[in-house]
Structure 1
Amino acid sequence: MPADKHDLDACARLEAATDAQVVRCLPALLEWLQDINWPVALPIVRRLGRLGVQLAEPLRPILQGADGMWKYWLLAHLVPEAGSELVRALAGEIRRLAADPTPDDRQAEVHLAAAELLLLLPAGS
């Protein structure tokens, strides 16, 4: 777990961790993605992306929450990294965010990131 936003040594250890170890720390790791500009954020995105659809349930409450910028970073970076299976698992939330964004979501351009992810779904899904 990174001690601060510059703790790239922790990111190297995270890279070597098993999926089970990473999943145990998932809520805390997701918090590091509240600002993708932090140096630790993209290495965490790359490692968490390997979890794929396992991210669906931990992401759902964040996507239903009030932090538009956090939602944007997750939809623009983590969800695409994790792949289309995660997009399918979160399709209901993603559709809702694309079609009915809150004012904060709209300001953070969550609806645009969500609409882009919907393009990854097969027609009729």
Structure 2
Amino acid sequence: MEDFGIYLPRDKHDFERVNQLRNLDDSILIAIIPNLVEWLQDINWPISSEVAKLLLKHPEETIPHIKDVLITNDDIWKEWSLRYFVKELPIHLIQEFKTDLIRIANTPTKGELLEEVNETALMILDTINKE
């Protein structure tokens, strides 16, 4: 079994590995999506926005992992996942998050309120409703 860890960024400045990820076979990239989603935990890490762009090239495979993020207690990770992944999806794929977005917008946890995740969810819902 191949060690997919050799493809993962080593630190928040590892642009070399992120650039190499762009050239990986899709089967390998898809296998490491759960690990790549972790880089959305803090969008202030230099490579985070580039990783988000990479994940957007495989939205169907990434969506289940973002849904997992939305049920964690890590409200900042939720915010960045919504803002840098979900918001950037085509409308038909954003629809897959509609139940999650409605819950966050209408009955946010204290942490989601504090981090304003509810406002981001509402903004994304408005995008869906305009279509």
Report if TM-score (shorter chain) is over 0.5.
yes
Change (3 A) 1:87 1:118: same
Equivalenced residues, count: 124
Q: 1:6 matched to which residue of 2? A: 13
Q: Aligned pair 1:55/2:57, yes or no?
A: no
CA distance in 2 between counterparts of 1:14 and 1:86 reads 23
Q: Aligned pair 1:89/2:96, yes or no?
A: yes
Partner of residue 39 from structure 1, selected from 37, 46, 50: 46
Give the percent of matched residue pairs that are identical in Structure 1 and Structure 2: 29
Q: Which runs of 5+ in 2 are unaligned?
A: 1-7
CA distance in 1 between counterparts of 2:25 and 2:97 reads 24
Deviation at 1:63, TM superposition (A): 0.3
Q: Structure 1 residue runs of 4+, over 4 Å off?
A: none
Report SS of the residue matched to 1:16.
coil
Q: Which runs of 5+ in 1 are unaligned?
A: none
CA distance in 2 between counterparts of 1:15 and 1:117 reads 28
Q: 2:82 matched to which residue of 1? A: 75
Deviation at 1:94, TM superposition (A): 1.1
Contact 1:32 1:41 in 2 (8 A): yes
Q: Deviations over 1:47-96 (max 9, x none)?
A: 10111233221111210111100000011111122332321111111111
Give the TM-score taking structure 1 as reference length.
0.91
Change (3 A) 1:120 1:18: farther
Contact 1:87 1:120 in 2 (8 A): no
CA radius of gyration, larger in? 2
Q: Deviations over 1:22-52 (max 9, x none)?
A: 2211111111110001011011011101112
